[in-house]
Amino acid sequence: MDYSAQQTSNRISGVETGSGATVKPGYDFARQAEKMIAAGQLDEAYNLLQAGIGVFGDYPSGFQILGDLYHLRGNQVAATFTYFEALRREPDNPRTLLSLGDVFRAEEGNVNEARKYYLQAAALEADSETIAARMKDIGFFEVEQPELEHDFLATETAADLFRMQGYFDKAKQIYLHLLKETPADQHLHDKLKLCG
C-alpha cells in the first residue's frame, strides 16, 4: 500500500489514517516507522521518516531509524551518513554507535573502524551483552596486546569487556597497566581483584 503525501502528513500530525488507525502526533513518527519496517512496509516507513525528520529535524531517533532502513536496503553510504547525523544530535547514543560499527564491519569490511564504534558504545553501556557479542564476533577478545602503552585498546572499558567475557589474564594485564598511571585508583584495584 502506497501512502499519499496527505496520509504521511496525517501520520505526523496525529489524525486518522486511511486504515482507520490514529497515530500519535510528534516524535512518535520514529516508533511508528520502526513498526512499519518490522511489518515490511519499507516505502511507507521511508516516507514517514522523511516527513517526520522534515518537521522534527532535531530528533536523533528519526535519523537512527532512517539509517537502519538504509542499512536494511543495502545503501551503506546513506546509512553511514544518516547515523552520523543521529550522532551529531546525540553523541552518546550507544545504539547509533553500535549501528555504525555494524555498517563498517559488514559492508566495508573495516574491522578497525567497527571496533572503534563498538568500543565507544561499550564505554557507555559496559554491561551490554549485545555489544560484547559484536566485539567477540570481530575477534576483539582474541587480539594480542603486546604493547599496551601504544594500543588504544588499553582502556578500562576494554579491560571490563575482557573480564566480562572471562578473559581474566588480558583484563588483569590492562588493569595493571592502568594502575601504573594511577596507582591510587581504588576502583581499578577492586576490578583487578575480580580477575583473581
The DSSP result for 23-63, as a single string, is: PPSGGGHHHHHHHHHHTT-HHHHHHHHHHHHHH-TT-HHHH
Specify the pLDDT at position 90.
Answer: 92
Inter-residue contact 82 to 63 (CB < 8 Å)? yes
> Which residue, among 126, 150, 153, has the nearest Cα to 139 in the 3D structure?
153
Please state, in angstroms and as integers, the Cα–Cα distance from residue 140 to each residue in 32, 62, 99, 145, following that order: 35, 31, 17, 11
Give per-residue pLDDT as tens, 83-94.
999 999 998 899
Grid coordinates belonging to 153: 585498546
> Which residue, among 88, 89, 94, has the nearest Cα to 123 in the 3D structure?
94
Supply the DSSP string of 183-194, one letter for each residue: TT-HHHHHHHHH
Specify the pLDDT at position 36.
Answer: 93
* Cα distance between residue 46 and residue 145, in whole Å: 44
More confident residue, 48 or 106: 48
* Cα distance between residue 155 and residue 16, in whole Å: 52
More confident residue, 192 or 51: 51
| pTM beyond 0.75, yes or no | no
Mean pLDDT is lowest, of 27-36, 71-80, 113-122, 175-184, for 175-184
Inter-residue contact 64 to 93 (CB < 8 Å)? yes
* Cα distance between residue 31 and residue 166, in whole Å: 37
Assign domain 5-144 to its CATH superfamily. Answer: Tetratricopeptide repeat domain (1.25.40.10)
Specify the pLDDT at position 145.
Answer: 47
State the chain's mean pLDDT as an integer.
77
* Cα distance between residue 196 and residue 188, in whole Å: 13
Percentage of the chain with pLDDT > 70?
Answer: 77
Specify the pLDDT at position 89.
Answer: 92
* Cα distance between residue 70 and residue 80, in whole Å: 9
Specify the pLDDT at position 109.
Answer: 67
Give per-residue pLDDT as tens, 107-165.
656 778 888 888 888 887 777 788 777 877 777 766 554 444 444 456 777 777 777 76
Q: Where are the domains of the chain?
A: 5-144, 145-196
Instruction: Compute the average pLDDT of residues 159-174.
Output: 75
